[in-house]
Amino acid sequence: MGKNFFRERVLSLIYFDNSATTAIYPQALNTYVQVSQRIIGNPSSLHDLGNQANRLLQQSRQQIADLLNVSSKEIAFTSGGTEGDNWVIKGTAIAKKPMEIT
């Protein structure tokens, strides 16, 4: 292993985790703060606060679908990048059987 091996490896790195390294758009942050102070329920809960959060979630899903000209059923929210990556990898593997993912 040469003296510059690790340096060359780091310099050739392509980093795709945009969320980890990019500042939040100010208007998006402002909207998040306002909504999270007003809507405090879990959208999966069955009580009134959960129902309120779920309505907002479904409205958001529909707005995104309208912008992309797709069905709201085609819009999925994940907990983060890793979960989204896994959906894509597993979905591709299932569609292109046989394949093993470990």
Examine the pLDDT at 13 and tell me if it is beyond 80.
no
pTM to 2 decimal places? 0.65
Q: Which two tokens stand for residue 29?
A: 């942050």
Q: CB of 43 within 8 A of CB of 57?
A: yes
Residues in the chain: 102
Q: Over the stretch 39-87, which tens digit does the pLDDT of each residue have?
A: 999 999 999 999 999 999 999 999 999 999 999 999 999 888 888 888 8
Q: Which two tokens stand for residue 76?
A: 């999925």
Share of the chain above pLDDT 90, in %: 51
Domain boundaries, the chain: 23-95
On the 0-12 / 13-18 / 19+ scale of CB atoms within 10 A, 102 is exposed
Q: How far is Cα 86 from Cα 78, in angstroms, rounded to an integer?
A: 10
